[in-house]
Amino acid sequence: MRADAEFFESTADARVESVPLAHLSVELGHFYSPDLSEDDDFFVEHFRGIARWSATARAACHDAVRGRNARISTCVLIDDYFGQPESPRLLLPKLIRAARNGGLEIDYLARESGCADPAEPVDPDPAEPAETGPTGLSLAELVEARIVEDPPPDTTGARPPVRQTGWLCNGQRSPATDRHEAMKRPAAWLPPAENAAVNHSVFADIELWRDGDRGRQWSCAMLAAVWQLLRLGVLRDQGRRVAVPRPVPEELPDDWRRLPPVLQLNQRAAPFSAYRTMTICAPLFLPVENAVRTILQQVAVDPTVLGQVAARGADEGIVLPPAVVDRIEHLFVDTGPVRGAGPG
C-alpha cells in the first residue's frame, strides 16, 4: 500500500500558492533534437548507463531523510525549442519503453519550449490555475524579471544592464582597449575578475538571449536555469503556480506545442518539484550547468515562497541551504553517446 503524501503548507500566505514537494527530483536525461531521432537502442543504452547513478542518488536521499519514506521523482527534458523532434505520438512511447528496458521509470517529461514560449492552457481544469498565471509572461520572462545583477566592487554602473545586452557575468569584464578618445593613449588591458574569487578568478560571461528578426531566442543556459527553478518548486507568477504537471492525454498530438509544459507519465509518482534536485549528465554539459549556477546566483526568488519551502522542510526535519543554487547537485558521468549537446 502506498504511504506517500503530498505535503502542503496550511499556514502560507493566501496570496502565494504552494506546490507539493518531493524530497529529491532526479533528472534522467536532457535530450536534444538529434538525440530524439535515434532508435530504441540509443535510449536503452543511455538509461542503462545511468541506472546505477540514479540508484546511488536514491540511496543518498533515503539516508538523508533518516528512515522516513523518501519521496523521489524522476524527469527528463526534451528539446522542442532549438529543433523539432519527432511527434509525441512516436517519441513518448519510445522513451517510456526504453527507460523501463534500462531499469528506470520516467515520472515526468518537460518540453524546453514550455520554458520559453507564452503558454496557453491545455484543456484547463477550473479547479487548477492557468499555466501562465495572471501576467501571461513566459517562464523565462518571469525569471529574467527577477535577475538582480551582482555589480563588481568600485564600479560606476557604466556597463549596460543585462536587460539591454542579454549578457550576465559574475564579475568585472576586461575593459575595451581598441576605442579611445583622440590624443589619448589606449587604455591598458586588464584581466576580467570574478566578484567572489578564491585566490584566483573563474570568470563567466553568459548569453541569456539573442534578439533577431524572428524575435527573442533564449539561450540553453537560461532555459536550463528556468528548468531548475521549476524542479525546486520556487517559481511563481504573481503568487500563482506555473507549469503544473498534467496527465498524458488519451490521444497524443503530432505537435509538441499542443501539450502542456510538464507531463506526468507515472500517475503513482512522487511530486514533480522537490527540496533538492540531482541532474545526471555527461561531462560535456559542464559549461552549461556552470552557467546555470551563475544565473541562479543572481535571481531573486520570491522570499515568501522561500519561507514556505523552508518551513515545510523544517516540519520534516530537513534544513535547506538559504540559496536555491545550493539545493542543486550534479553527477557528471558517462551517459553513453550524445549526438546533439550544446545548442543555444
**pLDDT beneath 70: ranges in the chain:** 1-14, 119-134, 151-159, 175-187, 337-344
Residue 204: predicted pLDDT: 83
Cell of 251: 490521444
pTM across the whole model:
0.86
- Spatial distance between the Cα atoms of 307 and 194, rounded to a whole number of angstroms: 30
All three cell numbers of 309: 519551502
pLDDT at 133: 45
Residue-level pLDDT at 192: 80
What per-residue confidence (pLDDT) applies to 163?
83
- Which of 46, 77, 94 shows the shortest CA–CA distance to 339? 46
What is the bridge-based pairing of β-strands 72-78 and 108-111? parallel
Model pLDDT, residue 340:
54
Instruction: Write down the pLDDT at residue 240.
Output: 93
> What pLDDT does residue 182 have?
56
Cell numbers placing 5: 503524501
pLDDT at 122: 41
Residues 6+ apart with CB under 8 A from 97: 40
Identity of the residue numbered 1: M
Reading the block at residue 327, the C-alpha cell is 539545493
